[in-house]
A and B are shown apart, each in its own frame.
Chain A
Amino acid sequence: MRFGRTVAGRQARAAWMFLAPGLALLTLFTAWPLLRTAYLSFTEYSLLTPPEWVGLANYRELLGDDQVMNALQNTVIYAVVVTPVTIALALALAMALNAKFFGRGIVRTAVFVPFVVSLAVVSIAFRFLLDPNYGLVTHWLDMVGLAPTQGALAQPGTAMAAVMAVGVWKNVGFYMVMFLAGLQSIPRDLYEAAQLDGAGRLQKFRTVTLPLLSNQTMLVSILAAIASFQVFDQIKVMTNGGPAMSTETLVVMVNRVGINNLEFGYGSAVSVLLLLLILLLSMAQYFYFGRKQVRY
């Protein structure tokens, strides 16, 4: 292709010039690390000596590794619980905060603020709040007879529930804002028409709101699912994968295997497994919501 001789060529050249910085950054910080990780997953690499090609050995080991299966299970449990709960709660909050009432701005801000705060800071704060001896949340739970005897983060049965709750609380505001934007773009006359047809609130929600929010729902679902599969910070700070690896997800495991044990080849193989999982999930969501998209 020769740019610059025709109008279309000049436009293409201008487009490429504007795209170039973004593409360069994407190549440098996304594509290259991705390819490098894929390559390293076929090697034994301790960072201190050059990578040594081992073929599929890491993948064979990965399939029979109980720790990988445990991390995979924890990741799936986290994603399966946190994603729908976050989406449902975000939608409910968006519906409630779309209505006009006194102090709406303050409530919206209060719901959104946790998303802005650093996840590490939030996690440290919740470690204090859940402390068995002086944690405020533990104290409240104790008042209603629900406090775990050793503290929520110290027991395998409750540690995952605690980090999941923090994950939902932290992110729900962000998705709520996306739903709010979607709700405000729905033409009022559609609701009026539905009302004239005798539709109740539930019917209006089912036949007008939900279908017209399908774009937002798709985007939120994909983003929330990816975020759930990639959960790291809060688990690293709150439990470091424990107790007894009950909260270790795949990303936390990648960090442990790579940084702590200097097994970057094996860690890369676990990363590729995670990448494939997210890719499959995103594709499935894309096609599912793509078919359901509605426009009036």
Chain B
Amino acid sequence: MRPTRRTCIAAGAALALTAGLAACSDGGSTDDGGPVTLTMWHGLTGPDGPAFQEVVDAFNDGQDEVTIEAEALPWDSLYQQFLTAATSDDGPDLVAMSASRLPQYAERGVLAPTDDFYADDTYMDTSVLAEGAVQASVYDGVNYGVPLNLGPVLMYWNKAVFEEAGLDPEAPPTTWEEFEEMIPDLTVDEDGDGTPDQYPIAMGDHSTVPVFPSFLWNGGGGVVSDDGTTALLGDAATVETAEHWVNLVREEQITPVGMSGADSDQLFQAELAAITINGPWMTAGLTEAGLDFDVTVPMAGPEGQSILGDVVSMTVSQRLDENETDAAYQFFAYWESVESQATWANGSGFPAIRTDMPEDAVTNEWAAVFGAPEVLENVRPYLTGVPGSGEINEDIFTPALQSALNGTGEVADLFPAAGEEIQAILDGGS
């Protein structure tokens, strides 16, 4: 039978559909030991993005067995899209995510354990990696990730503003007491309307790096205990520390209330605040803006000087087969190599994750500051290994803090009540 015109069109359409579907399926992954292509999502959309891609390109060009196709998305979009992608089994093979987010997915079986990567020296000697960064991706005794970056949150100060205030531009506050003595000098109310035109410090209270929780640590308290089992918001030390800082905000107006992280960055960049506490990702923008600034460890509290450290981990989808997992581990090992870590640190300003970097490998001054031994030794991740971390921080802690800062409630009432809600989550309720 001769094919009719209609049959030809139908066959062509079917062929096109098949080809289309093939193109939609996961990369070029194979399970026969051949070349493997892995898709990877990450949220490095700032100046750190090109540095990451440079390492990925070097890895892809250096061998022909594994190809990493990295795709950058804003962090919030990444988390929202990954959720639906994971349910349809059509998502990325590898995902970079904040270590504090990881338990949410690990708990539900979306991610595969990466313990094999650390088991022996098959891929690399993992003992050279910063311990805090490795431990950040442990949930329920199982490691679900390999650190992509470690971002210690340090104190930035504007030297020009310090000088204008009659303070030594090379002597930022080293303790809370020193900071409090500087408050009158660093506060400027030009029009005398009672609202400062320049603030001593810029601190966001939502959608930002959790600076307030790090203050609670250094005052002897915290949001949740290190083992993730006990809420600490109702503890006397936490309440006392929170009251201290809330009073500084409400009475002394050390920072505007209600700022997001982006608002806080803008305030510091516009030289309307003398100090801010932030990660290494901010150095490039401030340098470009021509600010006369420097970075040091945050001022110490009466009970210590823990430094908040944000860790982004590279995680593996549970659906990867043995061959693909092996390919992923090859990339992870390459990422953690001295050469790649030097490229990353010099390009992004983030410190290297390896503790054995040769002295001359890192030439970026900010990477050296953020990767200094006294910084890395005191780095403490926030809410890692806690399944309800997002809910605890954003739905309970942040509103309680905002109510206190806005004066719609008192710390002594708000924090213990919030602590009870957090405890219910930690105990497995909701």
Contacts and interface: CB of A to CB of B under 8 A. Distances in A.
B7 interface: no
A154 B257 contact: yes
A242 interface: yes
Interface in B382-407: 388, 390-391, 394-395, 398-400, 402-403, 406
A139 B208 CA distance: 26
Interface residues of B, number: 37
Interface in A254-296: 256, 259-263, 266
A150 B86 CA distance: 41
- B84, B390, B394, B395: residue with the most chain A Cβ atoms closer than 10 Å: B395
B177 to A, nearest CB: 26
Interface string B113-140: 0000000000000000000000000000
Interface string A37-68: 00000000011110000000000010000010
B369 interface: no
Interface in B88-113: 104-105, 108-110
Contact of A49 (B80, B108, B194, B399): B108
Given A49-B108, A156-B408, A243-B206, A263 B430 contact: yes
A131 to B, nearest CB: 8
B259 A266 contact: no
Contact of B395 (A157, A243, A256): A256
- A47, A49, A240, A244: residue with the most chain B Cβ atoms closer than 10 Å: A244
A153 interface: yes
A167 interface: no
Contacts of B270: 133
Interface of B: 80, 83-84, 86-87, 104-105, 108-110, 194-195, 205-207, 256-259, 263, 266-267, 270, 272, 388, 390-391, 394-395, 398-400, 402-403, 406, 408, 430
Given A131-B263, A155-B257, A157-B406, 18 more contacts: A46-B108, A47-B87, A48-B110, A49-B108, A49-B109, A61-B430, A149-B194, A151-B256, A154-B259, A155-B258, A156-B408, A242-B398, A243-B205, A243-B257, A243-B399, A256-B395, A261-B388, A263-B430
9 contacts: A46-B108, A48-B83, A133-B266, A150-B257, A155-B258, A156-B406, A240-B206, A243-B402, A262-B108
Q: Which 10 pairs across A and B sit closest by C-beta, in order of nearness?
A: A154-B258, A244-B402, A48-B108, A244-B403, A243-B402, A244-B399, A150-B257, A149-B195, A245-B399, A261-B391
